[in-house]
Structure 1
Amino acid sequence: MSFADFFPSLFRYKSWADEELYALTARLDGEAHPERRHLAIRILNHIHVVDRIFRGNLSGQAHGYAATNTPETPALADLLAAARETDAWYIAYASGLSEAELSESIDFTFTDGGHGRMSRAEMLLQIITHGGYHRGAVGRILADCGLQPPRDIYTRYLHDSEPARRHPA
C-alpha cells in the first residue's frame, strides 16, 4: 500500500471517530456539567478550525481564521454538520492525490503570522494526529463526567469497517 492509498483510509477513520465522539458529547448533560460540556465543544471546535485552516493551506485558498479557535462557541449540531462537510472534503482530497503530489511542499502562514512550509503528506498527517490528540482530551472530559469515551483507535475502525479482517487469511 502506498501513502497515496493510505491517507484516504486515515481520513475515513477520522470521520468515523468524529461521528462517535460527537454523538457521545451530545449525551453529556449540559445542566449537570455545563462547564465541562462547553469545554468539550470548544475543543471539538478547535479541531474543526485547524482542519479548515489546513484545508485552506492545501487548496491555496484563504481560510479566513485569525486564530485556531473562534470567539463564539457554535452549537454542537452546527459544528457536527460543518465537521462532516470538512471530513468529506479531506476524504475526497486525499483520495485524489498521487505520491508526487503528496511530496510537494507548500508555503503558508500560521495564524500567528509565522511562516511555514510542509509537504502535503505532512499537512495531512498533522490533521490526523492533531485530531486524535484533541479527541483524547474530549474523551477524558466525558470520562470525568461518567460517560465511557469511545475506543478511538485505528485498528477498531479497520475491523468495524471491514469485518473480514477479523478472520484469518
Structure 2
Amino acid sequence: MSAQTLLNALFRYKASIDGELLDALSALGEGARGNAFSSALRVLNHAHLVDRIFAANLQREVHDFTASWSSEAPPLAQLASSIRETDRWYIDYTSRIKPEEMEEVIAFTFTDGGRGRMSREEMLAHVATHAGYHRREVGRLLPEIESTAMRDVFTGYLHRTDPARRQ
C-alpha cells in the first residue's frame, strides 16, 4: 500500500467518524447541551481550524487564522457543515496528490508567528492524528455519545466498509 492510498483511507475514515460524531451531537436533546457540550464544540472547532490551516499550508496559500483556538465555537449546524466540507476536500486532495508531491517540504508560518517546515505527507499525517486525539476528547467530555466515540478506530472502519476483511 502506498502512502497516498493509506492517507486517503485515513481521511475517508476521518470523514466517516466525524460524521458519526456530528450526528450523535446533533441528536442530543437541548437538556444535554450544557457546559460540556459547549466545551466539546470548542474542541471540535479547534481541530477543524487546524484542518483548515493545514489545508492552506498544503496549497501554499496564506490564511487569515491568527490562532488555532477560539473562545466561542460556531453553532453546531454551521460547524458540522464546515467540517464535512473540509473532510471532502482532504479526501479529494489525497486521492489526486502525486507521490513526488507527498515528499515535497513546504515552509509555512504557524499562527503564533513561528516558522515551520514539513513535507505534505507529514502535514497530512498530523491532520489525521490530531483530529483523532480531539474526537476522543469530545467523547470523554460527553459520555452520552460514548458508543460513537468508542467506534473511533481505524480497524473498525476498514471492516465496516469492507466486510470481506472479516473472513
Do they superpose with TM above 0.5? yes
Q: Counterparts of 2:32 and 2:87 in 1: how far apart (Å)?
A: 31
Query: Residue 117 of structure 2: SS of its match in structure 1?
Result: strand
Query: Residue 148 of structure 1: SS of its match in structure 2?
Result: helix
Amino acid at match of 1:148: E
Q: Which residue of 1 aligns with 2:38?
A: 38
Aligned length: 165
Question: Which residue, 145, 148, 158 being the options, matches 1:147?
Answer: 145
TM value normalised by structure 1:
0.92
Shift of 1:69: 2.4
Q: Deviations over 1:32-84 (max 9, x none)?
A: 45100100111111111000000000011122111002343211011111011
Q: Counterparts of 1:103 and 1:140 in 2: how far apart (Å)?
A: 35
CA contact (8 A) 1:4 1:99 kept: yes
Unaligned runs of 5+ in 2: none
Q: Which residue of 2 aligns with 1:98?
A: 98
TM value normalised by structure 2:
0.94
Amino acid at match of 1:128: A
Q: Counterparts of 2:147 and 2:107 in 1: how far apart (Å)?
A: 37
Greater helix share, structure number: 2
Q: How does 1:1-169 map to 2 (within 5 A)?
A: 1-143=1-143, 146-150=144-148, 151-167=151-167
Unaligned runs of 5+ in 1: none
CA contact (8 A) 1:56 1:62 kept: yes
Kindly report the root-mean-square deviation, in angstroms, between the aligned alpha carbons of the 2 structures: 1.3
